[in-house]
Amino acid sequence: MFDFIKKTMLVSAGLAAMTREKIEEMIDELVKKGELSEKEGKEVVDDLVEKTKKYKKDMEGRVEKLVADTLKKLDIPTRSEVEELKKKIKRMEKSQKDKE
């Protein structure tokens, strides 16, 4: 059972990386071989494309969170923090010039 789950996960990850065109090619082959009807093939393509989109969105979110967490741990300032510091420096420079 564990091997089946593992293989399913690997196949799912592989399918998530495929484009719609590649998925359609693969399903068309199954339809030609008679392993799927055209209707089933279309349903499978639509289902896999939808799952691929969801998987991609989920992975993008995970990567963004991982990067943000890593930057936070490394104590690297964010873009907005750097921009705020630039503004403060400009205000300080202006204030210094006004005093002179």
Please state the pTM of the whole predicted model: 0.49
Collapsing DSSP states into helix, strand and coil, what is residue 18?
A: coil
Sequence spans of domains, the chain = 2-99
Q: What share of the chain is helix, strand, coil (3-state, %, to 5)?
A: 85, 0, 15
Tokens of 42: 């279309």
Each residue's pLDDT tens digit in the chain (100 positions)?
345 544 555 566 665 666 777 878 888 888 888 888 888 888 888 888 788 788 878 878 888 888 888 878 888 888 899 999 999 999 999 999 888 7
Under DSSP, the state recorded for 100 is: -
Of the candidates 72, 83, 73, 20, which has an alpha carbon nearest to the alpha carbon of residue 46?
20
